[in-house]
């Protein structure tokens, strides 16, 4: 009897071994998608990768800076992951320069990334002709959300269609005793508000001149001064408890009808759906003012640390290919609150706001990158410092212009 058991165990074991060997390329992926909705989204990626024959090994690390610094430390320490999440910005330029990333040219060329990826994303992943990252999604950080209940209470019948109408709406909200602008006083949130004003009031040309060209003439111009003044004016519509507040708590003010408007990225949809609120019915989303308002693009991408291991390279290429497929893109973005990196997808299953975003994306002239796609992390940080000081203190606008010119100079 024992002999039979031992034979069975041996058979099982060897079968197991065979199965393990037959299992496909193993990809250890470092990312920072850890909350409920994000987890559901990344699970779609891992399921797709497994279905394509791979083995997904998950190393989730909350906090984007933590995750990136761990990825870099592991690369330096000689124990790199197969893929690591970064943003589609200049964050990984230094790593490329050090020769520490593999490229995925094979997949990019075969699947024609040049044809369907937005220009702004191509500019950050294609360096010197090689493709160093696989983009996963596109987030738009400057949506204008509003609570329909609050608007009703303040007697605002229509969505604001311009900056002036926005200020008028904010005034009405204040008169109705509500918090006009729900805001969390953290420097990155102030940066978002600034970017929204620059895009909507300044327009695409001024935006590019300031953030892409860093043109001193544009920075010191009258038009930019007006943008800064509008930015500061928005601060007067914020409640006293705003400093330090998490963005989720600001969205909660909209959800509970205590505040009217929030300027936040499309990830805010997650909070609304958690509270079982529906776009169009409970809350509204405005991508921008005017038919040609810029659609600001930021997003996530996987980079592939350098390795000469053939199995790992196979895994990297398989991953790059899987996550950029249209069907997977929709599944991921639906749960993440983002929109796919390509417009040739079936948008039927996407929510109202995402559909609107995708529609705008199809107009290439409206695509514009986030500040971080043009500025390196240090410049972006310095700009954020100046903006947050201006938001919180009484600084002359001319001084702000001078400071920004100085910060963006190098």
Partner 1 sequence: MNQAGNALRSRRKRRLDPARIGIYAFLVSAALFFLLPLYIMLVTSLKPMDEIRQGNIFALPLSVTVEPWQTAWSSACTGVDCQGIRGGFWNSLAIVVPSTVLSILLGAVNGYALSFWRARGAGLLFGILMMGAFIPVQVMIYPLVQILAALHLFSSLPGIVLIHVIFGMPVMTLLFRNYYASIPEELFKAARIDGGGFFRIFVQLMLPMSTPIVIVAAIMQVTGIWNDYILGLVFAGRDNLPMTVQLNNVINTTTGVRLYNVNMAATILTSLVPLSIYLISGRWFVRGIAAGAVKG
Partner 2 sequence: MRAKLRLLRRKFVPYAALAPMALIVLVGYLGTVLWSLKVSLSSSRTFPAHDFVGLTQYARLFGNERWLQSLENLALYGILFIAACLVIGFLLAVFIDQKVSGEGVLRTVFLYPYAMSFVATGLVWQWLLNPGNGIQQAVRLWGYADFQFDWIVDQDKAMYTIVIATVWQASGLVMAILLAGLRGIDEEIWKAARIDGIPTWRVYLSIVLPMLGPSVGTAFVLLFTAVVKLFDAVVAMTQGGPGIASEVPAKFIMDHLFGRANIALASAGSIMLLLTVIVLVAPLMYARSRVGSRKGSK
Residue with tokens 């100046």: 386
Per-residue contact string for residues 152-191; x = within reach of partner 1 by CB under 8 A: ----------------------------------------
CB-nearer residue toward partner 1: 57 or 223: 57
- H/E run at residue 403: helix 397-407
Contact 54, 25 (CB under 8 A): yes
- Residues within window 377-396 making contact with partner 2, judged by CB under 8 A: 377-378, 380-381, 385, 388-389, 391-393
Dist. CA 216–CA 209, nearest whole Å: 9
**Applying CB under 8 A, which of residues 25, 38, 145, 340 lies at the interface with partner 1?**
38
The whole-angstrom distance between residue 103's C-alpha and the CA centroid of its chain comes to: 22
Of the candidate spans 25-33, 150-158, 201-209, 372-380, the one that interacts with partner 1 by CB under 8 A turns out to be 25-33
- Residues within window 331-350 making contact with partner 1, judged by CB under 8 A: 337
Q: Which residues in 25-38 are b (16+ Cβ under 10 Å) and which e?
A: bebbbbbbbeeebb
- Asked if 355 is part of the footprint of partner 1 (rule: CB under 8 A), the reply reads no
- Asked if 79 is part of the footprint of partner 2 (rule: CB under 8 A), the reply reads no
Of the candidate spans 91-99, 196-204, 241-249, 316-324, the one that interacts with partner 1 by CB under 8 A turns out to be 241-249
User: Residue 9 Cβ, how far from partner 1 at the closest point, in Å?
Assistant: 25
CB-nearer residue toward partner 2: 45 or 242: 242
**Applying CB under 8 A, which of residues 255, 297, 319, 400 lies at the interface with partner 1?**
255
User: Residue 61 Cβ, how far from partner 2 at the closest point, in Å?
Assistant: 12
- For residue 17 the two structure tokens come to 């071994």
C-alpha distance across the termini of the chain, in Å: 79
- Residues within window 204-243 making contact with partner 2, judged by CB under 8 A: 239-243
Contact 249, 405 (CB under 8 A): no
User: From the list partner 2, partner 1, none, which binds 60 (C-beta under 5 to 8 Å, kind-based)?
Assistant: partner 1
Nearest to 299 by CA among 93, 146, 135: 135
**Applying CB under 8 A, which of residues 275, 352, 389, 397 lies at the interface with partner 1?**
275
**Applying CB under 8 A, which of residues 10, 13, 76, 168 lies at the interface with partner 1?**
76
CB-nearer residue toward partner 2: 315 or 387: 387
User: From the list partner 1, partner 2, none, which binds 34 (C-beta under 5 to 8 Å, kind-based)?
Assistant: partner 1
Phi–psi pair at 177, nearest 5 degrees: 85, 15
- For residue 244 the two structure tokens come to 């330090």
DSSP state of 138: E
What strands, in cross-sheet order, belong to the sheet with 179-181? Answer: 179-181, 259-264, 143-147, 283-286
- Asked if 60 is part of the footprint of partner 1 (rule: CB under 8 A), the reply reads yes
- Asked if 42 is part of the footprint of partner 1 (rule: CB under 8 A), the reply reads yes
**For residue 14, what are the CA distances in angstroms to 53, 54, 75, 222?**
20, 21, 35, 76
Dist. CA 228–CA 210, nearest whole Å: 12
User: What percent of the chain is helix, strand and coil (3-state, nearest 5)?
Assistant: 55, 15, 30
Phi–psi pair at 211, nearest 5 degrees: -90, -30
Contact 63, 71 (CB under 8 A): no
Phi–psi pair at 118, nearest 5 degrees: -60, 150
CB-nearer residue toward partner 2: 137 or 186: 186
CB-nearer residue toward partner 2: 272 or 391: 391
User: From the list partner 2, partner 1, none, which binds 391 (C-beta under 5 to 8 Å, kind-based)?
Assistant: partner 2
Contact residues for partner 1, defined by CB under 8 A: 28, 31-40, 42-43, 46, 56-64, 66, 70, 73-74, 76-79, 139, 246, 248-249, 252, 255-256, 258, 265, 267, 270-271, 274-275, 337
Positions touching partner 2 (CB under 8 A) are 65-66, 68-69, 72, 76, 91, 94-95, 98, 185-187, 239-246, 376-378, 380-381, 385, 388-389, 391-393
């Amino acid at each position: 009897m024992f002999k039979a058991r031992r034979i069975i165990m041996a058979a099982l074991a060897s079968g197991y071994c065979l199965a393990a060997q037959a299992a496909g390329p193993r990809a250890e992926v470092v990312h920072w998608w850890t909350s409920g909705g994000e987890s559901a989204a990344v699970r779609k990626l891992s399921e797709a990768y497994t279905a394509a024959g791979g083995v997904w090994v998950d190393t989730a690390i909350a906090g984007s800076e933590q995750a990136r610094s761990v990825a870099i430390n592991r690369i330096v320490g000689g124990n790199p992951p197969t893929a690591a999440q970064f943003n589609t910005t200049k964050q990984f330029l230094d790593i490329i320069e050090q020769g520490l990333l593999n490229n995925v040219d094979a997949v990019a060329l075969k699947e024609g990334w040049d044809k369907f990826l937005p220009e702004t994303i191509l500019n950050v992943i294609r360096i010197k002709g090689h493709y160093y990252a696989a983009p996963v999604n596109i987030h738009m950080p400057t949506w204008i959300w509003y609570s329909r209940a609050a608007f009703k209470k303040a007697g605002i019948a229509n969505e604001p269609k311009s900056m002036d109408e926005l200020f008028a709406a904010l005034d009405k909200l204040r008169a109705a005793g509500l918090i006009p602008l729900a805001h969390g006083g953290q420097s990155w949130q102030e940066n978002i508000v600034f970017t929204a004003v620059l895009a909507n009031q300044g327009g695409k040309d001024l935006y590019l001149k300031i953030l892409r060209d860093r043109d001193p003439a544009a920075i010191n111009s009258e038009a930019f001064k007006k943008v800064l003044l509008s930015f500061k004016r928005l601060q007067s519509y914020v409640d006293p408890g705003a400093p330090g507040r998490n963005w989720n708590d600001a969205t909660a003010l909209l959800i509970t009808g205590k505040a009217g408007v929030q300027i936040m990225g499309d990830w805010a949809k997650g909070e609304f759906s958690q509270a079982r609120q529906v776009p169009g019915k409970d809350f509204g989303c405005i991508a921008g003012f005017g038919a040609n308002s810029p659609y600001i693009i930021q997003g996530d991408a996987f980079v592939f640390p350098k390795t000469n291991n053939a199995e790992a390279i196979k895994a990297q290429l398989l991953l790059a290919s899987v996550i950029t497929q249209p069907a997977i893109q929709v599944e991921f973005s639906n749960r993440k609150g983002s929109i796919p990196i390509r417009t040739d997808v079936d948008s039927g299953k996407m929510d109202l706001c995402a559909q609107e975003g995708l529609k705008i994306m199809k107009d290439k002239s409206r695509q514009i990158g986030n500040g971080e796609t043009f500025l390196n992390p240090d410049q972006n940080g310095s700009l954020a410092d100046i903006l947050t000081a201006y938001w919180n203190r009484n600084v002359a606008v001319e001084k702000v212009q001078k400071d920004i010119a100085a910060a963006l100079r190098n």
